[in-house]
Amino acid sequence: MRIPINTASRSASVKATIIAILTLALLIPLQMIKSIVFDRQDNESIAVAGIQNSWGGEQTVSGPVLKLPYRVENTTVYGLSYADEKVVYLLAKELRAHADVVIEERYRGMHKVPVFNAAVTASVQFDFTAVDALGIADEQILWSGAEVYLGISDPMAISEIPRLVANGAEVEFTASSEGIDGLPSELRMSLGQQFDKPPADGELEFDFLLNLNGSGSLSFLPLADHAAVTMSGDWNSPSFTGRRLPAHREVREDGFDASWTSTRIGRELPSAWIERHEQTPSIGRGAFGARFIQPVGLYQVIERSTKYAVLIIGLTFIAYFLMEVVCNLRLHPLQYLQVGLANTLFYLLLLSLSEHLGFDAAYALSGSASTALIAGYSAAILRGRSRAMMMVAVLLALYAFLYLTLKAENVALLAGSVGLWFVLALVMYLTRGIDWYGVGSGDQQQADAN
C-alpha cells in the first residue's frame, strides 16, 4: 500500500496542533493556582485590616485652628441691650513641624504589615491681625474661652496624651465631641488659664508634642499662611503622596528625609472666619505626606509570574518538539503533558514556599525542584543524558529570564517583551534549515520498505 506524499508533513502538523491544545489545557490548573493566590491575598488583606484596627490606620495631622468666642452687643427694637455670643476661627501665621517616624513590622499569622510610630513636634505662631480685619475688637473677645483644635484621623491610636506648651505652662489635649467641619476627629485644648487677656504684641506662640501610631501613611494638612514640614524615618522605600511633593528629599538604604513647604496661596480657607466656613468639608484635599509600602507585595509578584506561565510552558514544549525533529525521536502527547504539569507545579511550590522562606529562596528551591523533576524524566524519554542536560539548560534559562523580569519593577514589560523577542529570534534561527515537509520521511520510507 502506498502512503500519500504529504502524510509525513501532516503528522508533524498534527503533533504541533496537539502540543498547542495541551498548552491551552494547562491553563485550567494554572487558573486554579491563580485562584489560590487570590485567596491568600484576601487573607492578607484581612490580616492587614486587623492590625490596622488594633494599632492604627492611615494618619493625617490637621491644623491647628484657634477658636475664639466673642461678644457682640445688640439692641432690640424696644431699645433693650443684649449680648450675642459668636465664634471666630483663626489659622496660624507660621507653622514648623517635624515628624520622626520609626517603622516596625507586625505579624498576624504568616502575614507581616509595616506599622509606624511618629513623634511629631511643632511650633505655631498666631497673628490676630486677621481677626482685627473682620471688625472684631480685642475687648469683644472672651480670651478665657480660647481653644485650640488639632485634627487626627485616628485618635484611638495616640500612644501618649498630646501636650501643648504655652506661656511656659504645659497643657494636655482632650478628645472633642464637637469640632470643625472638614477636619478629621479633633483634639481640643483650652487656653483659658494661660491666655486670659489679649497678647501684648498681638501674637500667640506655643509648641505641641504628639506621639501617635499608625500604618500605611502619615500625612499633614498644615493650616497656616506659611508652613514648613520635615519628616525623617527608617523606611527605605517611601512613596510621597498628596497635593505637594517634597521640596527636598533623600532616600537612603537606612531611611529617608523629606521636607515640604506650603503657603496660603491656593488654600480653600481664609486666615480667619466667623462661625463655620462653607468650604471646610473639602479642605482635606491639600494634605501631603509619605506612604510606607513594601515595593512589591509577595502575592502580587507570584500573580505576575503566573501570567508568564503559558509562555514558559509553550517554550518548553517547543524545545521538546525541536528535540524530536532534530534527534528523530517520537514523544507521546502524555509525555508532553507530564512535563507541562511539572512546569505548572513550579508555581504552586513557589506560592507555598514563599510564605515561609521569602520569594528569592522559594523561587530558587521551586525552580530547582521542577528542573530536577523534568531532567530525570527527560533522561529517560530523550534516551540520553546529554539531551536531558540540554533541556536543563533551556529550563534554567527560562526560569532565570522569568526571575529577572519579575524583579525589574519599573521595566518589567520592556524586559519581558525584549526577552521574548530574542527567544523567538533564536527559535527561528535554529529552525531555519529544517524541511518541515520532510519531517518524519525517514521513518515513513522505512515503513514503505517493510
CATH code: domain of residue 213 = 2.60.40
Please indicate, yes or no, whether residues 364 and 403 belong to a single structural domain of this protein. Answer: yes
Whether residue 50 is contained in a domain is answered as: no
Question: For 388-444, how does the pLDDT look when each residue is reduced to its tens digit (9 = 90+)?
Answer: 888 888 888 888 888 887 776 656 667 667 767 777 787 777 766 666 666 555 444
Q: Report if residue 352 sits inside a domain.
A: yes
Cα separation, 51 vs 53, whole angstroms: 5
Question: Is 381 part of a structural domain of the chain?
Answer: yes
Same domain for 66 and 36, yes or no, is no
Tell me the CA distances in angstroms from 190 to 173, 200, 205, 288, 369, one per residue in order: 8, 20, 15, 28, 67
Residues 187, 151 share a domain: yes
Instruction: Identify whether residues 232 and 94 lie together within a single domain.
Output: yes
Q: 409 lies in a domain? A: yes
185 versus 70: which is more confidently predicted?
A: 70
C-alpha cell at 239: 512613596
Measure Cα distances from 116 to 7, 185, 279, 290, 313 in Å.
70, 20, 32, 12, 43
Does residue 436 share a domain with residue 314?
yes
Residue 78 is which amino acid?
Y
The sign of the dihedral angle between the CA atoms of 272, 277, 281, 285 is: negative
Q: How far apart are CA 238 and CA 116, in angstroms?
A: 12
| Bridge partners, residue 88, by sequence | 68, 274
Which residue, 293, 327, 358, sits at the end of a domain?
A: 293
pLDDT in tens, 158-214: 877 777 777 667 777 777 656 566 666 677 777 766 566 666 666 788 888 888 888
* 218 and 307 housed in the same domain: no
Distances (CA, A) of 103 to 254, 328, 337: 11, 61, 48
Same domain for 434 and 343: yes
Last residue in a domain, options 258, 293, 328: 293
Find the domain containing 177 and state its range.
57-293
Cis previous bond, 69, omega within 30: no
Question: Is pTM, for the whole model, over 0.75?
Answer: no
Last residue of a domain, one of 293, 310, 342: 293
Higher pLDDT, 320 or 160: 320
64, 21: one domain: no
**16 and 96 together in one domain:** no
- For the stretch 186-214, what's the b/e string if a residue is b when 16 or more beta carbons lie within 10 angstroms of its beta carbon? bbbbbbeebbeeeeeeeebbbebbbbbbb
- The answer to whether residues 217 and 331 belong to one domain is no
pLDDT for 360-398, tens place per residue? 899 999 999 999 998 888 888 887 788 888 888 888 888
228 and 196 together in one domain? yes
**Count of the separate structural domains present in the chain:** 2
- State the pairing for strand pair 163-166/169-172: antiparallel
- β-pairing verdict for 147-152 and 217-222: unpaired
Residues 275 and 308 in one domain: no
